[in-house]
Structure 1
Amino acid sequence: MLTLQEISDRLEIQELFARYAHAVDSRDWAALKEVFTEDAVVDYTAMGGPRGTVPEICAFLESVLPMFPATQHLVANMLVEIDGDSATARTMCHNPMPLPDEGGLLQCGLWYVDRLVRTAAGWRLAERGEEKAYQVVLKQTTAE
């Protein structure tokens, strides 16, 4: 049976992951920085991106996301293991992204693999990595 503290921790971590997704999708880099610790490392290499610090990752996202009219990070099926003031998590993500000029839809499926720490400001991501599940482009077809 979960204690009230464990329930609270899990809800806060779930909220943290939602804040991450909303920050990326709304391109709010200040909000994105707030979900991480100051010394966090983010590794997007499994999906073709860089590995770096949070400011480096924000700069990367700011440079590449304008090519997509929209993104929508859908996170689910979180497995969280809490050990005092640290935690690990593996979370499914589905991210459809329309390609410019009606070029179709890039569909990305991945797992976030995270290490979290409890800080004075609440739970924060100390490390975020990815495991690739799939990446496909669905071409737009026209009706005749």
Structure 2
Amino acid sequence: MESRTLEHLLTLEDLRQLKYRYLRSVDQKDWDGLADTLTEDAVADYGTPAMGDRLLLEGRDAIVSFMRENLGPGLISVHAAGHPEITVNGDTATGTWAFTDTVIVPEYQIVIQGAAFYQDTYARGDDGTWRISRTGYDRTYEAMVSLSDLPKFKLTSNKWATVDQ
């Protein structure tokens, strides 16, 4: 059983906030904020191996560049993670998170929803700050629906829309 010292509990809270900040940064398209959640040599491994669908990104710059290019203002995303199971071992830690996401792509009139379990590894840097050194998930499911199949669906607000849209 892990220690339940105040320091341990504060570390758990730091790691929870780190994961939330990572997800918020993606959804808010805060690429500098996202970069700050990752170690320089971070690895991201997303997808569903059983479906032959895998995305492996190596290095903070590659991860942030991919997100910037593929999750830009042309889509709306909402990522939520909870039920963390975190194990701390000195200056490293691991975490498993239940995760759901919704992505709306107005240009293509589609909504994608899915769920997965994130598997993360964390490292505490020389500055005392925790960062994600490895993150990824295997999809539990992913589903896509055309907005034309939802005739009453109306997007009434979009932070990323331009005035002309």
TM-score normalised according to structure 2 size: 0.78
* Secondary structure of 2:18 counterpart: helix
1:44, distance to aligned residue in structure 2 (A): 2.1
What's 2:113 paired with? 107
The structure carrying a bigger helix percent of its residues is 1
Aligned-residue identity in percent = 24
Code of the aligned partner of 2:65: A
Q: Match for residue 18 of structure 2?
A: 16
Contact 1:117 1:126 in 2 (8 A): yes
Instruction: Identify the residue that residue 131 of structure 2 maps to in structure 1.
Output: 124
Match for residue 163 of structure 2? none
In structure 1, what residue type is equivalent to 2:41?
A: D
Code of the residue aligned with 1:105 in structure 2: it is V
Kept in 2: contact 1:67–1:100 (CA 8 A): no
Q: Aligned-pair RMSD on alpha carbons?
A: 1.9
Aligned to 2:58: 52
1:95 maps to which residue? 101
Paired position in structure 2 for 1:133: 140
SS at match of 1:50: strand
1:91 is matched by which residue type in structure 2? W
**CA 1:68/1:109 → structure 2, altered by over 3 Å: closer, same or farther?**
farther
> 2: CA distance between counterparts of 1:108 and 1:131?
11
**Structure 1 residue 142 corresponds to structure 2 residue 151:** yes
Does structure 2 retain, via aligned residues, the 8 Å contact 1:94–1:108? yes
TM-score by length of 1: 0.88
Q: What is the number of residues matched between the two proteins?
A: 143
- The unaligned stretches of length 5 or more in structure 2 are 153-165
1:50 Cα deviation from its structure 2 partner: 3.5
**Distance (Å, rounded) in 2 between the aligned partners of 1:27 and 1:39:** 21
Q: Is the 8 A contact 2:29 2:72 kept in 1?
A: no
The answer to whether the Cα contact below 8 Å between 1:74 and 1:93 also exists between their aligned partners in 2 is yes
**Structure index of larger Rg:** 2
Unaligned 5+ segments in structure 1 are none
Q: 1: CA distance between counterparts of 2:69 and 2:130?
A: 28
CA contact (8 A) 1:45 1:51 kept: no
Matching residue of 1:72: 78
Displacement, 1:16?
0.3
